[in-house]
Chain A
Amino acid sequence: MKKLVIRNIDQGALMKLNKIFKNTFLVLFACLVLSACATSKKSTGQMQGDVYTGTDTVEYLASGVPDRVFFATNESVLTTASRETLRKQAAWLRKNSDITIVLEGHADERGTREYNLALGERRANAAKDYLMTYGISSNRISVLSYGKERPVDSGSNPLAWSKNRRSVSVKAN
């Protein structure tokens, strides 16, 4: 969503600029894009861009092994921090080879219910694929999407939504 808004602003700005500064427009446009990117990537303490980076809701599968990773709005791409968390999970799963897990994928409340079910499934599978590349067999991992049905934070604000966009690894046995 955020990306779209920025794009709209840019188009509006672009049209005006086209009329006024035909020659300098490219330079100005580049500046605008850069500043837009800079603001959207801004860290607000608990958020990087709109990905949650805090630890309020995080639980641990074992000491030093966080149970969840977070996503940007409408995204299922794993961040650097998410990949690090998943590598820790993979190492722990390799050590405890009898354990099976369910990856529970979630979305925030700012989307339609059916799309969010699909998005939750896509997020959980992004985590699953990463665990598999680190040697965890797919038959030890099942996936369950809750869409927007099980938020951890009942707030209606960007921080609450960032906590709710998550994939949580839950011990199944």
Chain B
Amino acid sequence: MRNLIILFLIFIAPTNALGLIEVDITRGNLNPLPIAVSPLSIDDESKKSFEKTLKKKDIGSEISKVIEKNLKTSGLFNPLDKNAFLQAPDIAHLKPRFEDWNLIKAQALITGKVKNVDDKLRVEFRLWDVLAGKEMMALAFTTVPNNWRRVGHIITDKVYERLTGEKGYFDTRIIYVAEEGPKTKRIKKLAIMDQDGANNKFLTLGNELVLTPRFNPTSQMVTYLSYFRNLPRVYLLDIETGIQEVVGDFPGMTFAPRFSPDGKKIIMSFAKDGNSDIYTMDLENRIVEKITNHPSIDTSPSYSPDGKFICFNSDRSGYQQIYVMKSDGSNVKRISFGNGLYGTPVWSPRGDLIAFTKLHKGKFYIGVMRTDGSGERLLTENFYQEAPSWSPNGRVLIFYRETKTDDKGEGFSAKLWSIDLTGYNERLVDTPTDASDPSWSSLLSN
């Protein structure tokens, strides 16, 4: 995928070194920044040609809608109503009349221009500080027209980074398990979609049970659990080619797979004779290593971003708790000591936190703690939810939630939700079917 997409990034003006407006990301969505996203202007000829190829009446306006939705979903921005905009998009892009934008309380303004250049889509955009009356950033991209949504995501990433000081997470995808049918005979398929829910695609047919897909952080590979031929095993899937292969040659169930941060190893559990231990397999030389050796259940392993440590789930104390060890399996230390059971630890891409699922007094929580177990914070409580996955910038967690059924055992559903690290901005992530086991990709472009 990455190879097919050629994005040309051209700086058309040097950006200001000093930050003008800034978004305080530590406080969640208490004061989202009012931002105006002007529809990207487009000349008539380009408009007509893109209408033919992309079946969109005004692609400039469509791209601005992608940006607007992204900004709103982040919880850090408040995109203003376009009906209140006084200045025409093409003129605003040349030189905004800042007093007009000030009047509608916009603090930042995004303008842009779309053009057909040799059947390619050329998009330029500018970010303006309305109060200071200054341009903050200007960029242009040229790409194949079909990539128009990605252009919207990349623009959002640039704006987000400029205004918050952190990398964005909008040009990303989510792989998950699409679910259908009654609870006792659930049909599950692998599915993939853009971070905003667009371009949903099913990757398997639903003939066999599939669970827990996870992205390789460095490529378009996915590892997951499949019950193909009733043998639950960890598989690798190349999303570009559709080629699948079983990982390793284990005489029993392998499950709970994840990639190492360099994408070269898979870490997973192997269950035999009632005992689950953690193993790694090197994808290049196929060497298998046993990492834990304990008669308890050891599962849900996840590497630290530097690859030096592994957090995992074990019931060696009698109940499910979270442990951290060196990546060779030495120095095992329990880090969860609060009331209740702890599972599904996942190390933040920033390295400072571990997200987890907690079960306490019949309720499920998604929370985070420091890597030594201190500073536990519970972000959300529900009847059932689990399996958080980090956005690549470590700001947002996506997880799934299941509903309680009624007295007749009906009314079951499973949905994806996201929540900010601050505990604010909890959102349902729209999917065409029921959904579970989400995994967030890295940024597709950098």
CB distance from B429 to the nearest CB of A (A): 18
In the complex, the number of residue pairs spanning A and B with C-beta atoms less than 8 Å apart equals: 115
CB distance from B204 to the nearest CB of A (A): 15
- The answer, yes or no, to whether A119 is at the interface (CB within 8 Å) is yes
Alpha-carbon distance between A119 and B271 when the two chains are bound, in angstroms: 10
Q: Tell whether A112 pairs with B232 under 8 Å between CB atoms, given A117-B256, A122-B274, A152-B184.
A: no
Alpha-carbon distance between A76 and B296 when the two chains are bound, in angstroms: 12
- Report A5-33 CB contacts with B as 1/0, cut-off 8 Å: 10010000000000000000000000000
Q: Are B232 and A110 within 8 A (Cβ)?
A: no
Alpha-carbon distance between A124 and B252 when the two chains are bound, in angstroms: 13
CB distance from A168 to the nearest CB of B (A): 13
- Report A146-173 CB contacts with B as 1/0, cut-off 8 Å: 0001111111100010000000000000
Q: Are B387 and A112 within 8 A (Cβ)?
A: yes
- The answer, yes or no, to whether A113 is at the interface (CB within 8 Å) is yes
Interface size on A, residues (CB 8 A): 34
Q: Are A151 and B313 within 8 A (Cβ)?
A: no
Q: Which of A113, A118, A121, A143 contacts B437 (CB 8 A)?
A: A113
- What are the residues of chain B within 8 A of A114 when measuring CB–CB? 212, 255-256, 269, 299-300, 313, 343-344
- What are the residues of chain A within 8 A of B339 when measuring CB–CB? 4, 8
Q: Are A121 and B299 within 8 A (Cβ)?
A: no
Q: Tell whether A154 pairs with B362 under 8 Å between CB atoms, given A114-B299, A117-B255, A125-B273.
A: no
Q: Tell whether A125 pairs with B344 under 8 Å between CB atoms, given A112-B300, A154-B182.
A: no
Alpha-carbon distance between A129 and B275 when the two chains are bound, in angstroms: 13
- What are the residues of chain B within 8 A of A154 when measuring CB–CB? 182-184, 405, 409-410, 412
- The answer, yes or no, to whether A109 is at the interface (CB within 8 Å) is yes
Q: Are B359 and A117 within 8 A (Cβ)?
A: no
- What are the residues of chain A within 8 A of B402 when measuring CB–CB? 109
Alpha-carbon distance between A114 and B258 when the two chains are bound, in angstroms: 12
- The answer, yes or no, to whether A145 is at the interface (CB within 8 Å) is yes
- The answer, yes or no, to whether A74 is at the interface (CB within 8 Å) is yes
- What are the residues of chain A within 8 A of B255 when measuring CB–CB? 114, 117-118
- Report B295-315 CB contacts with A as 1/0, cut-off 8 Å: 001011000000000000101
Using a CB–CB cutoff of 8 Å, the interface residues on chain A facing chain B are 1, 4-5, 8, 74, 76, 109-115, 117-119, 121-122, 124-126, 129, 143-145, 149-156, 160
10 contacts between A and B (CB under 8 A): A8-B339, A74-B320, A115-B297, A115-B320, A117-B232, A117-B299, A121-B271, A125-B273, A129-B274, A145-B232
The 3 A-B residue pairs with the shortest CB-CB distance, nearest first, are A125-B274, A154-B409, A112-B343
6 extra interface residue pairs, beta carbon distance < 8 Å, beyond A111-B359, A121-B253: A4-B319, A109-B402, A115-B320, A145-B253, A151-B183, A153-B184
